[in-house]
């Protein structure tokens, strides 16, 4: 039987959904790890600035996975939750940390070559610029404490995401994550120096 032709996509979020079946089982949905991976990938999508509305994503899923009703419903619900609250704490089992941005980087690079779309780092820099602009405006002009905390959190998240792009380009060691690189790759003396640098540049200045 010929493989079903997928719709031709021009957006990063569409490309991510198209490769979901490389990372999880959309046909037989239900394994907790599938849900955990879907959550992390969709959180990454939001953090690099790709934020289609719920109905747009729902319509694309209907075309993409017409026979995978459970997967469509699950992904829609995850995305609706992220749109409502990007910092929602999902109950994920098994628990896992961040999922690499490598998949989004690969897909963004494809789109850049095919359509001249922005590469991943440009997308993240746009998110960072917007977060900084809001933080600066709220800090100076808005006396509300919660608004200040919200703007600061958005800025911190954008900076963290840009740091993860740096890790893609230069390796985990470039952000001081020597424990990710592995003890065999990082001599003890170098790890100690990195810890000293982090203490130096994160200490209070007042």
150 inside domain: yes
Q: Treating both helix axes as pointing N-terminal to C-terminal, what angle do 145-170 and 120-141 enclose, rounded to 10 degrees?
A: 160
**Average pLDDT over every residue of 112-118:** 95
| pTM for this predicted structure | 0.85
Pairwise pLDDT comparison (147 vs 9), residue with the higher score: 147
5 inside domain: no
Same domain for 123 and 98? no
Q: What is the pLDDT of residue 205?
A: 55
Q: What is the pLDDT of residue 183?
A: 47
**Average pLDDT over every residue of 38-53:** 96
**Average pLDDT over every residue of 147-154:** 96
| Sequence-separated (6 or more) residues with CB below 8 Å from residue 79 | 42, 54, 57
- Exposed/middle/buried for 118, CB within 10 Å: 0-12, 13-18, 19+? middle
Same domain for 155 and 97? no
d(CA 9, CA 115): 11
Number of neighbours of residue 126 by Cβ within 10 angstroms = 14
Among 102, 133, 162, which residue terminates a domain? 102
**Structural domain of residue 189, as residue ranges?**
118-202
| Sequence-separated (6 or more) residues with CB below 8 Å from residue 135 | 151, 152, 154, 155
d(CA 183, CA 174): 15
Question: What rounded mean pLDDT belongs to the chain?
Answer: 87
17 inside domain: yes
d(CA 159, CA 149): 15
Same domain for 78 and 42? yes
Same domain for 96 and 51? yes
Same domain for 59 and 127? no
d(CA 205, CA 152): 18
Residue whose C-alpha is closest to residue 54's, from 37, 30, 78, 34: 78
Q: What is the pLDDT of residue 2?
A: 41
Same domain for 190 and 139? yes
Kindly calculate the radius of gyration of the chain based on its CA atoms and give it in whole angstroms.
19
Same domain for 127 and 93? no
**What band does 33 get if pLDDT is binned at 50, 70 and 90?**
confident
In contact, 178 and 196? CB cutoff 8 Å: no
Question: ω before 27 within 30° of 0 (cis)?
Answer: no
**Average pLDDT over every residue of 41-50:** 96
**What band does 76 get if pLDDT is binned at 50, 70 and 90?**
very high
Same domain for 162 and 86? no
Q: What is the pLDDT of residue 142?
A: 95
**Average pLDDT over every residue of 95-117:** 87
Would you say residue 202 has pLDDT above 90?
Answer: no
Interval 2-32: pLDDT, tens: 445 555 689 999 999 999 988 888 888 888 8
């Amino acid at each position: 039987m010929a493989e079903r032709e997928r719709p031709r996509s021009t957006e990063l979020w569409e490309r991510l959904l198209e490769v979901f079946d490389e990372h999880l089982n959309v046909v037989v949905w239900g394994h907790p790890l599938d849900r955990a991976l879907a959550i992390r990938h969709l959180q990454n999508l939001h953090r690099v600035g790709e934020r289609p509305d719920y109905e747009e994503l729902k319509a694309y899923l209907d075309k993409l996975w017409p026979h995978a009703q459970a997967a469509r419903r699950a992904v829609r619900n995850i995305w609706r939750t992220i749109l409502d609250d990007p910092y929602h704490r999902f109950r994920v089992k098994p628990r896992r940390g961040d999922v690499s941005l490598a998949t989004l980087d690969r897909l963004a690079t494809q789109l850049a070559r095919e359509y001249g779309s922005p590469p991943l780092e440009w997308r993240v820099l746009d998110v960072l610029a917007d977060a900084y602009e809001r933080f600066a405006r709220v800090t100076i002009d808005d006396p509300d404490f919660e608004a200040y905390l919200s703007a600061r959190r958005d800025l911190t998240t954008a900076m963290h995401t840009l740091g993860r792009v740096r890790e893609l380009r230069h390796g985990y060691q470039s952000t001081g994550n020597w424990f990710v690189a592995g003890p065999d790759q990082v001599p003890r003396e170098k790890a100690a120096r990195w810890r000293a640098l982090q203490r130096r540049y994160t200490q209070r200045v007042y």
